Amino acid sequence: MRIAMIVHGGAWAIPDEQVEAHLAGCRAALAAGWAILERGGSARDACEAAVRLLEDDPTFDAGTGSHLTAAGTVELDAAMMDGQSLLYGAVANLRRVRNPISLAHRLLQGPATFLVGEGAEHFAAAQGITLCDNRELVVERERKLWEAWRASQAAAADRGAQSVMGGRDTVGALALDQSGNLVAANSTGGTPFKFPGRVGDTPLIGCGLYADAQIGGAVCTGWGEAIVRVALARRVVDLLERGLAPQAAAEAAVRILNRRVTGGAGGCIVLTPDGRPGLAWNTRRMAYAYRSGASDPVYGV
């Protein structure tokens, strides 16, 4: 069975000075997942390893280094879906779990499919996952951005206007293992300065991700509220089921996002059961890396 993997590091206007860091992070994530697949490991474990690495890399809006909420805290979401069993695990509004993707992976076997907030953190502790202080997830770059945003909000209020700062860096992965299973996984810190408790597309099955080992899988990134409105991940898989090639399905889905939702910015990565990748985005850039079978790795931003 041909093994394959594709990862992304977010679709947004990645600044020139951050391109190399995004490329390096995606390369490392792909290498971590590929090493597991190559030695016969599972797609689940490969996805977890890749996404964990991206969560630990402060370059990305996932885990350590995530955007801060309007309250100045970090709140994390993640999910994983198994394409053979159609089992999934999703978590949201985590403040004390350093690697949400590992908790989402544990949830594939229950006791629930979606846990949030304190309940999710209690489950994490019961599973032996060490909880962290929320401040450990905050990096200086994001703290300074939050302080600048807070000052701009005060100034905008004086003018009767609103000030918005952008940047979206959801991370995700799709893997195909030697047994033929196809798994999707993703993780995010959400949009910059989001209202506390806000949840976007990332942990929502059919929106932020979907996997069916008989058809293919997709993982999305971008403006979560827009992606949810068109159930973007499931649309991609539907297009695959209708016979579109993975690249054509990715491009068609992004066109739908752009056409149906005003300001619908984002992208997606795709993988089929025969190991063919696809990817598309309508933002300035999307960081990615993929490899299939005996081919060399491909990287880009």
Q: What domains are there in the chain, each with its CATH number?
A: 4-292 (3.60.20.30)
What pLDDT score does 161 carry? 39
Question: Are residues 264 and 289 in contact, defined by beta-carbon separation less than 8 angstroms?
Answer: no
CA dist., res. 296 & res. 290, Å (int): 9
Give one DSSP letter per residue of 22-86, joined into a string. Answer: HHHHHHHHHHHHHHHHHTT--HHHHHHHHHHHHHHSTTSSSSTTPPP-TTS---EEEEEEETTT-
Which residue from 170, 104, 101, 98 is spatially nearest to 136, judged by alpha carbons? 98
| pLDDT value, residue 163 | 41
Q: For residue 256, what pLDDT is reported?
A: 98
Q: In this structure, is the dihedral angle defined by the CA atoms of residues 290, 187, 82 and 233, taken in order, positive or negative?
A: negative
- Taking CA atoms, 180 is separated from 1, 37, 214, 298, in Å, by 7, 11, 9, 22
Of 64, 69, 170, 191, which is the active-site residue?
Answer: 170
Return the closest-CA partner of residue 195 out of 73, 12, 13.
73
pLDDT at 158: 54
- Comparing C-alpha atoms, which of 29, 92, 102, 31 is closest to residue 60? 29
pTM passes above 0.75: yes
pLDDT of res. 153? 85
Respond yes or no: is residue 170 known to be catalytic: yes
List, for the chain, all residue ranges whose pLDDT scores fall below the cut of 70: 154-169
Query: Model confidence over 165-193: pLDDT tens digits?
Result: 455 669 999 999 999 999 999 999 999 99
| High-pLDDT (> 70) share of the chain, % | 95
pLDDT digits (tens, 9 = 90+) for 48-63: 999 999 999 999 999 9
